[in-house]
Amino acid sequence: MACGTAQVYFQDPLADAIIWATAEQGTVVRGYWRYSEPEWTGDPLT
């Protein structure tokens, strides 16, 4: 991996979608997807 830690934030007001995620070494450690079940992925960040 070129990046050790990465973050992505996305909001689409037309589709009412919100997505955000934090990843380390290519694995999502914490994320939120509004219409996913469950909405939250991973443990809360420090």
Residue pLDDT, tens place only, 16-36: 889 999 999 888 999 999 888
pLDDT at 2: 66
Asked if residue 16 lies in contact with residue 35, where contact means CB atoms within 8 angstroms, the answer is no
Would you state the structure tokens that stand for residue 30, as one six-digit string?
């914490």
Count Cβ neighbours within 10 Å for each residue of 2-38 and write b for 16 or more, e otherwise.
eeeeeeeeeeeeeeeeeeebbbeeeeeebbbbeeeee
Look at residue 46 and tell me if it is in a domain. no
Domain residues for the domain of 33 are 5-41
Look at residue 28 and tell me if it is in a domain. yes
Q: How many domains does the chain have?
A: 1
Q: CB-hemisphere CA count at 13 Å for 22?
A: 9
pLDDT at 8 over 90: yes
Average pLDDT rounded to a whole number, residues 2-12: 88
